Chains A and B, each alone.
Chain A
């Protein structure tokens, strides 16, 4: 039996009176590109933040790469990569300096650091931009750099929180190409989105609404849940969400 890359049982997070995530149970296998789909405020970001150790769960358990999130949050951090909606780049540092900083924080030194940085630069084709300040990059380039910074330490699980928000279509296509390359190499990817075309590219999906799960399965399975018959994922999403709100 292989251990799951991510596993949650009854994961719950409350902010005062508001329950942002309610009783979420998921199992994500190694090498999956798993999509968390849902409108704003459905609990996607809160879920990812709990899995990365940014927020403590109010109830339930979660493990990432076989390690319990609540028990050993710092041990998880070497095994995960995280890219937030705001990219987390230092705008007053250059591309090269951002890579050097995050590499150093993840413990890359000397020759190993140079080799790994060169790999990332080649993989994301950011060589010509190395000397530019991050503040001068377009959304697409910022996204690539942020991905590069999150990949330097070869994470086992990669968390991407709305990575393509504010990025043009060509850059989005390239980005998803990179995601699938990573998954083929064995990295598990958990990505949140509200773009349907991106959801279609995931191996499996979890649809969230109001902090809880409303559908789970491959894109085709989720579409079939509302009767199939030429219904798209978008139709399924709208129907399921309306049902949930009733």
Chain B
């Protein structure tokens, strides 16, 4: 069965081993991306540079400002004299938030009248302003409860919600990002590597030579894919190891199952690249098409942005990407420790992608030069 697959595999393997790019892809790229995404990308915004205008200058106002600072969301960088100075700091961008305590703050508190404190946030960037707004609301609420409880003579508030963030109790970005990064990196590199595969042979004139041999289309295609399956799995191992050691990302579930599903996903990605390779004529075109495909994978798969927040149409588009399904498997196994019982729909879909894309690539390829 497929007697020419082995020589094709050996040839591809030797070429891969001699290519420095492969080594880069297996080790350099994962480490680089890990450090980039793991350290630089933090979706939990903390320590907003904050300026304060304290018009009352009383122990009560200082106490309130300290409460804001204790949330960790605000870092007070300056105390200013007037509201104009605050506006200038925000406009110039030296501060991202401003807190104004009016002169009558302690008096109103004492009278039992609603006292106000004003929090201004630079909301040009909604993501960073959101945490500031939430923290400000939190401070006010905590204060209100304390004041009301004291007035009612109670030891504590009547209702307390006990929130348990499961699977990622520290709410750390890295725990969420690193498993996803495995999928993103595999998509990027696997698609790109094979997208070049056929065109490179075409450009170098060796495809012409291959066409006049009795090799079948299936032997040619499978011979191109198989050596890189190993590359993909090694790459995944690198990310998981670095993620574990540097970012303390949990590896909760069955790793054997993870590698089995990753194998399917890698085959799907390689086949997608191979399919691209049959569509384009030059290596440059294949590179462009690959990047065109990688971008929606990052944006729509749920890697960084929650799919639930997307319009329905883009949620559907996301379902057409193998990465969307693989991310569920990655996070399911690594963070939640779930097994086949919970993940079988994703596994079936990924297997369908892999099989379908191979068939598509083989069908598309013509054993002639036109």
B205 touching A93 by the CB < 8 A rule? no
Known: A52-B212, A53-B211. A93 touches B14 (CB 8 A): yes
Residues of A within 8 A of B19 (CB): 92
B209 touching A104 by the CB < 8 A rule? no
For the residues of A in contact with B, the DSSP-based class is: loop
Smallest CB gap from A103: residue in B = B7
How far apart are the CA atoms of A100 and B367 in the complex, in Å? 22
* Interface residue? B8 (CB, 8 A): yes
- Give the A-B contact count at a CB cut-off of 8 A: 79
Q: Name the contact of A105 in the complex, choosing from B8, B14, B204 (C-beta under 8 A).
A: B8
In chain B, positions 300-337 with a C-beta closer than 8 Å to chain A are: none
A88 touching B209 by the CB < 8 A rule? yes
* Interface residue? A87 (CB, 8 A): yes
How far apart are the CA atoms of A128 and B212 in the complex, in Å? 28
* Interface residue? B6 (CB, 8 A): yes
25 CB contacts below 8 A, A to B, read A49-B369, A54-B211, A54-B212, A55-B370, A56-B368, A73-B367, A77-B212, A78-B214, A84-B208, A84-B209, A86-B204, A86-B205, A88-B205, A88-B209, A91-B204, A93-B11, A93-B15, A97-B11, A100-B7, A101-B7, A104-B4, A105-B4, A105-B214, A107-B3, A107-B214
* Interface residue? B206 (CB, 8 A): yes
Residues of A within 8 A of B369 (CB): 49, 54-55
* Interface residue? A34 (CB, 8 A): no
* Interface residue? B18 (CB, 8 A): yes
B18 touching A92 by the CB < 8 A rule? yes
Q: Name the contact of A53 in the complex, choosing from B3, B18, B206, B368 (C-beta under 8 A).
A: B368
* Interface residue? B215 (CB, 8 A): yes
* Interface residue? B113 (CB, 8 A): no
Residues of A within 8 A of B204 (CB): 86, 91
Residues of A within 8 A of B206 (CB): 88-90
* Interface residue? B123 (CB, 8 A): no
Chain A interface size band reads 20 to 34
B205 touching A104 by the CB < 8 A rule? no
Per-residue contact bits, chain A 57-97, to B (CB 8 Å; 1 contact, 0 not):
00000000000000001100110101011111111110001
Residues of A within 8 A of B210 (CB): 88, 105
* Interface residue? A176 (CB, 8 A): no
Per-residue contact bits, chain B 1-42, to A (CB 8 Å; 1 contact, 0 not):
001101110110011001100000000000000000000000
* Interface residue? A141 (CB, 8 A): no
Residues of B within 8 A of A107 (CB): 3-4, 214
Smallest CB gap from A86: residue in B = B205
Smallest CB gap from B7: residue in A = A104
Q: Name the contact of B10 in the complex, choosing from A54, A78, A91, A101 (C-beta under 8 A).
A: A101
A74 touching B214 by the CB < 8 A rule? yes
Smallest CB gap from B220: residue in A = A105
Known: A49-B369, A93-B14, A97-B11. A102 touches B205 (CB 8 A): no
Chain B interface size band reads 20 to 34
Residues of A within 8 A of B214 (CB): 74, 77-78, 105-107
A84 touching B205 by the CB < 8 A rule? yes
Smallest CB gap from B209: residue in A = A88
How far apart are the CA atoms of A93 and B15 in the complex, in Å? 7
Residues of A within 8 A of B3 (CB): 107
Residues of A within 8 A of B370 (CB): 55-56
Residues of B within 8 A of A102 (CB): 213
How far apart are the CA atoms of A56 and B369 in the complex, in Å? 9
Smallest CB gap from B211: residue in A = A54
Residues of B within 8 A of A91 (CB): 204
**Nearest Cβ distance between residue A84 and chain B, in whole angstroms?**
5
Given A56-B368, A104-B4, 5 other A-B contacts at CB below 8 A? A55-B368, A80-B212, A86-B208, A88-B205, A101-B10
Residues of A within 8 A of B213 (CB): 77, 102, 105-106
Per-residue contact bits, chain B 191-209, to A (CB 8 Å; 1 contact, 0 not):
0000000000000111011
How far apart are the CA atoms of A57 and B205 in the complex, in Å? 21
Smallest CB gap from B219: residue in A = A105
B368 touching A105 by the CB < 8 A rule? no
Residues of B within 8 A of A73 (CB): 367
**Nearest Cβ distance between residue A96 and chain B, in whole angstroms?**
11
B7 touching A54 by the CB < 8 A rule? no
Residues of A within 8 A of B11 (CB): 90, 93, 97, 101
How far apart are the CA atoms of A70 and B112 in the complex, in Å? 97
Residues of A within 8 A of B212 (CB): 52-54, 77, 80, 82
Smallest CB gap from A78: residue in B = B214
A-B pairs, top 8 by smallest CB distance, nearest first, are A104-B7, A88-B209, A86-B205, A82-B212, A77-B214, A101-B11, A105-B213, A54-B369
Residues of B within 8 A of A89 (CB): 206, 209
Known: A55-B370, A56-B370, A86-B205. A92 touches B211 (CB 8 A): no
Residues of B within 8 A of A55 (CB): 368-370
Residues of A within 8 A of B14 (CB): 92-93, 97
A90 touching B7 by the CB < 8 A rule? no
How far apart are the CA atoms of A91 and B14 in the complex, in Å? 12
Smallest CB gap from A109: residue in B = B3
Residues of B within 8 A of A105 (CB): 4, 7-8, 210, 213-215
Residues of B within 8 A of A88 (CB): 205-206, 208-210
**Nearest Cβ distance between residue A83 and chain B, in whole angstroms?**
8
Residues of A within 8 A of B8 (CB): 104-105
Smallest CB gap from A46: residue in B = B369
**Nearest Cβ distance between residue B23 and chain A, in whole angstroms?**
14
